[in-house]
Chains A and B, each alone.
Chain A
């Protein structure tokens, strides 16, 4: 069966450190992988998209890697700040249009 797995346990890190979140998937062949941020009581907000033929994508303090052999994406936040505390969701796009499937999200807590 198809699965998208993110660590359901919260990740607690100290301010200034690099946070690394993992997204693993099985029985998918995504053309794209996306990362979203969700704050409590709010809707998810798009952060980054990476294509299957890209190994890495960066945006300011964010970096995403995509390994289609390992079927895994890593999401890094460097120089983390308390304001980065949120739930981060990965989502797979199967290139069929109109169909984005989300993982369960990982909650990140950055402590000052």
Chain B
């Protein structure tokens, strides 16, 4: 069973389009994230949700809107796509922070977004 699954894995779309990436985790975790990995391989946090509540919203254009219908799902909707949005987007989840596990994160396989 895939712990954190996201779809689609590959997405090629034209500038100006609106697209969504879906994510589901079956680990029972309370916290979910969206990370962006650019061409230089830097992995940067975009959003964090804890029990469907937005916790972290890093400096991300408001064209990006996360939606969490329940704590097992965190979808990412992107409006008016731009060339610079091309990247790999990773969904992830973690248990509540603890002294034992810190904040170990479980990642999905990534969604490769190419804007042309």
Q: Check if B76 is an interface residue, CB within 8 A of chain A.
A: no
Alpha-carbon distance between A25 and B41 when the two chains are bound, in angstroms: 18
Interface size on B, as a range, is: 20 to 34
A105 contacts B41, C-beta separation under 8 Å: yes
Interface size on A, as a range, is: 20 to 34
Give chain B residues whose Cβ lies under 8 Å from the Cβ of A100.
Answer: 45, 103, 105
Interface residues of A (CB under 8 A from B): 31-32, 34, 41-46, 49, 51, 87, 89, 91, 93, 95, 97-102, 104-105
21 pairs from A and B in contact (CB 8 Å cutoff) = A31-B102, A32-B102, A44-B90, A44-B105, A44-B107, A46-B104, A49-B102, A49-B104, A95-B97, A97-B96, A98-B31, A98-B97, A98-B103, A99-B56, A100-B103, A100-B105, A101-B45, A102-B42, A102-B44, A104-B40, A104-B41
